[in-house]
């Protein structure tokens, strides 16, 4: 249960309009720390961050909804294999990312009967497209704590990577242009960019 102070802080922030900052440090400086009952959250990308305060209760509710969505979209046997792969990715410093976004699959499932959805999952799998927490729907993405050996060829989770690409190309999602192909395109683009940067640096040296 929230304290009276936590309730007042949260209500004030909502009514005032949530200010955003380019770094967590700026946010903490502005608010003189993180108010009780709130957490710092980057609502945008790593490249163009928008740090803001979010109520702890809201974050917990979001996490709970996400877990419920995963269970709804994933067969129990697939969930076990998905959890195993998730732990393996995390153990080497990579952040798990769902190739076909959960919200996309959930919206698709909601528009179908159970029989239609089962057929869609089956036919998509034949094309190499998977839904929910299926182990083949999980990929490892690069974050700040990822070891250098994985950073060289990995795709970032946010800045210029998986989440950012999803936002920019959401209108292109279709069975003919699946999410995995869009992510592969982003990865190839990032690799070309890095190669070009290395080439330019070698010329300067």
- pLDDT tens column, 78-114: 999 999 999 999 998 888 889 888 888 999 999 999 9
Kindly report the pTM of this predicted structure: 0.58
What is the rounded CA–CA span in Å between residue 14 and residue 6? 12
What is the rounded CA–CA span in Å between residue 184 and residue 177? 11
Handedness of CA 118, 139, 190, 101 (dihedral sign): positive
Higher pLDDT, 76 or 189: 76
Per-domain residue ranges for the chain?
4-62, 76-200
Strand 38-42 to 51-55 pairing = antiparallel
Angle, CA 173 vertex, CA 167 and CA 174 arms, to 5°: 175
Mean pLDDT, rounded, for 25-29: 87
């Amino acid at each position: 249960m929230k304290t009276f102070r936590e309730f007042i802080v949260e209500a004030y922030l909502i009514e005032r309009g949530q200010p955003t900052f380019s770094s967590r440090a700026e946010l903490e400086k502005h608010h003189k720390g993180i108010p009780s009952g709130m957490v710092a959250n980057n609502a945008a990308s790593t490249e163009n961050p928008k740090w803001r305060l979010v109520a702890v209760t809201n974050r917990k509710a979001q996490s709970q909804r996400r877990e419920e969505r995963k269970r709804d979209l994933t067969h129990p046997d697939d969930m076990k294999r998905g959890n195993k792969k998730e732990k393996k990715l995390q153990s080497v410093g990579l952040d798990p990312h769902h190739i076909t976004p959960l919200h996309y699959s959930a919206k698709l499932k909601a528009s179908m009967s159970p029989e239609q959805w089962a057929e869609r999952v089956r036919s998509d799998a034949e094309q190499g497209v998977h839904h929910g927490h299926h182990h083949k729907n999980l990929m490892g993405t690069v974050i700040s704590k990822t070891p250098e050996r994985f950073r060289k060829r990995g795709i970032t989770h946010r800045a210029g990577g998986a989440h950012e690409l999803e936002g920019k190309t959401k209108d292109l999602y279709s069975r003919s242009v699946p999410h995995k192909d869009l992510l592969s395109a982003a990865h190839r683009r990032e690799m070309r960019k890095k190669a070009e940067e290395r080439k330019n640096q070698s010329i300067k040296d």
